[in-house]
Amino acid sequence: MSGVYDSALMRRTKIIATLGPATDRPEILRGVLENGADALRLNFSHGDWDVRYRRIAEARAAAAELGRCVALLGDLQGPKIRIARFADGPVRLEDGAEFFFDPELDPDAGDVHGVGLNFTTLSDDVAPGDTLLMDDGNVELKVQQTRGSRVHCGVVHGGVVSDHKGVNKRGGGLLAVPALTEEDRRDLKLAAEAELDWIAVSFVRDRADIETARRLIREAGGTAHIVAKIERSEALDNLDEILDTADAVMVARGDLGIETGYEGLIGQQKLIIRRARHRHRVVITATQMMESMIDRPMPTRAEVSDVSNAVMDGTDAVMLSAESAVGEYAAEAVSAMASICRGAEAWMPARMETSPVTEGAFERVDEGIAKAAMYAANHMDVRAIAALTESGATALWMSRIRSDIPIFALTRHAGTQRRVTLYRGVVPVGFDVTETRSDKLLRAIFERLRVEGGLVAGDLVIITKGAITGVSGHTDSMTVLPIED
């Protein structure tokens, strides 16, 4: 199985699409994949494992049928504060009305006056004058007073509220609890057993949350890489240690924007992307990127600008949530996002002369080889780079340096092929790297590059590999040569 590469329509930025009721229809799931989704996300905030197992099986079957290499990402719910349920369905809160939160209220007894809550210490963590936001900030309330477990508020900006909507405090500081709930721990184990490729940890605070998640995954026999979701103000304070511990980060702009304020959100996004790339970590930009396409066939100009901005900043991937999970135009949203990515990339400098990721001493030989290969490629008429890899590390380092040259990650491991689908500019290729005879190995590489990249005789390529093939972390050589007949 291999990646899909078209030299005329190369898109370096990757797309993650969320599975949901919309993609349960086989023709929609197929359209999402055909239109360019590189990874599929399962949101563990919704559904149960019977539904998730079915969607995993359907996604893998559809990808195999299309000959696509597609990663699966499980997104843990985390300790999000959520309201309980309303007795008679959604309620409309009017500006100026009074409303309360009370964790001791019957969870099914909510009404226009107040609602239950899954967070027992809210009254201890807020004070009069604090701002609480519901439903991703669509409803704003001001705390007036607390009485026992009950928090009384005034509605500043009202709206319709339905069951289980999230609650945030502007400025953060509510969730002084570990990122992994008991339910998350169960989900981690099942996700590892289901052999998901990436697992996203919600509401990360520091490196300890990542280390705990990784230990649980490994104890369950999983090999998934970890995405740290940056959505707490505490995570921004500890960003460097999180980047040093996680394999990737997600700019989760919904809760992050609510906690820290929207006025600084794009600056924070740019900071996270820049620091993630400098630390050789994958970075995903998410939340409401194409929100209008839930019920419209075309994106707004603001959404086009939003996606383009993230692409030009160097994000590895952009993500669709409700747009593909429940939207009426799921496949069209993927197609539109792919077009926007290509359009934005066309305006970027194709090759960067210098890069912060090439400064300073290299810690490993394979890192030095990867970056030397990119420097050479950016100063020669090279058509492609072939990185023979076991773990995908060489391809990751290469992808940190801006270039318009496709990086083909040639690996025999299906798990590595799927994981590198999220690396910017990297195309996964199934390939047995254990051939020891140099002439046979080169002929096999040339043939795969002809098939996967449309290369022809005379095209100049760079090949990186180890003297001992089939061993992780031993890339120690770079060869520059033309494709031969």
Residue spans per domain, the chain: 14-79+178-345, 91-169, 356-482
Please say if 351 is a catalytic residue.
no
Tell me the one-letter amino acid at 471: V
Respond yes or no: is residue 229 known to be catalytic: yes
The three-class DSSP label of residue 271 is helix
Please state, in angstroms and rounded to a whole number, the distance separating the CA atoms of residues 265 and 276.
16
pLDDT of residue 5: 45
Alpha carbons 57 and 29: distance in angstroms, whole number: 12
Please give the Cα distance from 180 to 78 (Å, whole number): 6
Burial of 170 (0-12, 13-18, 19+ CB in 10 A): middle
Exposure string (b/e) for 14-52, b if CB count within 10 Å is 16 or more?
A: bbbbbbbebbeeeebbbbbbebbbbbbbbbbebeeeeeb
Give, in words, the CATH class of 14-79+178-345. alpha beta
CATH number of 91-169: 2.40.33.10
Tell me 94's DSSP state: P
**DSSP letters along 468-484, please?**
STT-TT-EEEEEEEE--
Please say whether the beta carbons of 154 and 141 come within 8 A. Answer: yes
Edge-to-edge strands, sheet with 382-388: 426-430, 407-411, 382-388, 460-466, 475-482
pLDDT at position 166? 87
Task: Fill in the DSSP letter of residue 57.
Answer: H
Using DSSP, state whether 325 is helix, strand or coil.
helix
Collapsed DSSP state (helix, strand, coil) of residue 99: strand
Q: What is the pLDDT of residue 473?
A: 59
Q: Does 41 participate in catalysis according to the annotation? A: yes
Under 8 Å between Cβ of 248 and 284: yes
Q: Which two tokens stand for residue 141?
A: 């309330």
- The answer to whether residues 328 and 23 touch, using CB atoms and an 8 Å cutoff, is no
pTM value?
0.90
Q: How far apart are CA 224 and CA 282, in angstroms?
A: 14
pLDDT per residue, tens digit, the chain (485 aa), is: 344 444 445 899 999 999 999 999 999 999 999 999 999 999 998 889 999 999 999 999 999 999 999 999 999 998 888 899 999 999 999 999 999 999 999 999 999 999 999 888 899 989 999 999 998 888 999 999 999 999 999 999 999 999 989 898 887 767 666 789 999 999 999 999 999 999 999 999 999 999 999 999 999 999 999 999 999 888 999 999 999 999 999 999 988 888 788 889 999 999 999 999 999 999 999 999 999 999 999 999 999 999 999 999 999 999 999 999 999 999 999 999 999 999 999 998 766 544 555 566 677 888 889 999 999 999 999 999 999 999 999 999 999 998 889 999 999 999 999 999 999 999 999 998 776 678 888 889 999 999 888 899 999 999 998 765 555 657 788 999 999 87
Strands 71-75 and 198-201: parallel
List 41, 52, 418, 424, catalytic entry: 41
In CATH, 356-482 is 3.20.20.70: no
23 in catalytic set: no
Active-site position among 55, 205, 229, 465: 229
b/e string for 300-322 if b means 16 or more Cβ within 10 A? eeebbebbbebbebbbbbbbbbb
Q: Contact 412/384 with Cβ under 8 angstroms?
A: no
- Distance CA(155)–CA(81), nearest Å, equals 19
Which residues, in sequence order, are bridge partners of residue 456? none
| Predicted pLDDT at 280 | 93
Find the Cα–Cα–Cα–Cα dihedral 269, 272, 274, 280, rounded to 10°: -140
